[in-house]
Structure 1
Amino acid sequence: MTESSTRWVGSWQRSSTLDALRSLLDVSARATPALARRAGLNHTEMAVLEHLMETPAGPSELAQRLGVTTAAASGIVDRLVAHGHVVREPHPSDRRRTVVAVTPSGREELLGHLMPMFIELARLDAGLTEEERPIVERFLREAERAVSRLL
């Protein structure tokens, strides 16, 4: 750490907003492993399932997202297929490739665990005034950019 970094850290001013954000990040980091345990999956399998909820992806794309080898990603997909949570399908435009897609039962499994959180977050969002909404959104997007710098 440089001297200027040390000086800055020493002058860090806590605020209730930064404390709340830190708490949210801590809880979020613990949420996926807890959800995975409830679903009978490991953390990596749950991460793949979450990625695939957005859009189907190939094993090599999953490997890149997870920072693992293609062989490791294929093993994860194999386990999710065995659970009935995903299927391998032919790629829509390249028949030499496959994509992995979430099955209806896989989607149901994940959403069943996430729905209470989604309902509560929707309630909180609905409680924002039109004046508050852009301020909260700006803060969250900028916080996301700051955290993304670690990736």
Structure 2
Amino acid sequence: MAAAVPEWRPSSTLAALQQVIDVAQELPERVAHRAGLSVSELHSLRALSERAMGPVELARHLHVTSAASSGVVDRLVARGHAQRQPHPVDGRRTEVVITDSGRREVIGQLRPMFEGLAAVDNELSEGEREVVQRYLTGVLAAMRRLL
């Protein structure tokens, strides 16, 4: 990298960041496999755990076609992890809602990671947290330049 980007200087923080990126790329596939889900199903459950959404909105979230999203929803409904229900405002539309089973699946799979992250975060002083926040905000800005 240093030859192509003169500002690039190898450092322990950049090495650790690269490891985080590598693990983050591998994580969804491993977690989904353990749960017997596809990666799209796992991502759908995570999104639906935050809020209900229509099938087209879910397709946009997953960056897939409406047909592919419909298949994901069909599989989640068949497993009891989601359900379709009438939209609360527009009765012509449906929305997909996570069920208790789906919520337990997501929490069960991701809880160890979230507990570990919370423990690491809780060890930081406010000053350390500000530095980490500034670093991560800068990392996100640099990465978003490619989106």
TM-score scaled by structure 1? 0.89
Q: Deviations over 1:40-90 (max 9, x none)?
A: 011111111111111111110111122221111111100111111111111
Q: Deviations over 1:81-105 (max 9, x none)?
A: 1111111111121111111111111
Query: Matches of residues 42-121 of structure 1 in structure 2 within 5 Å?
Result: 42-121=38-117
d(CA) in 1 for partners of 2:3, 2:10: 15
1:41 alignment partner in structure 2: 37
1:3 alignment partner in structure 2: none
Aligned counterpart in structure 1 of residue 12 of structure 2, from 9, 16, 20: 16
C-alpha RMSD over aligned residues = 1.8
The amino acid of 1:52's aligned partner reads L
The amino acid of 2:44's aligned partner reads V
Is 1:130 the counterpart of 2:130 in the alignment?
A: no
Q: Residues 21, 67 of structure 1: CA spacing in aligned structure 2 closer, same or farther, 3 A cutoff?
A: same
1:149 alignment partner in structure 2: 145
Q: Which consecutive residues of structure 2, in runs of 5 or more, have no partner in the other structure?
A: none
d(CA) in 2 for partners of 1:10, 1:126: 36
Aligned counterpart in structure 2 of residue 26 of structure 1, from 22, 26, 44: 22
Q: How far has the Cα of 1:7 moved from its partner?
A: 5.8
Q: How far has the Cα of 1:8 moved from its partner?
A: 4.0
Secondary structure at the counterpart of residue 113 of structure 2: helix
Q: Which consecutive residues of structure 1, in runs of 5 or more, have no partner in the other structure?
A: 1-5
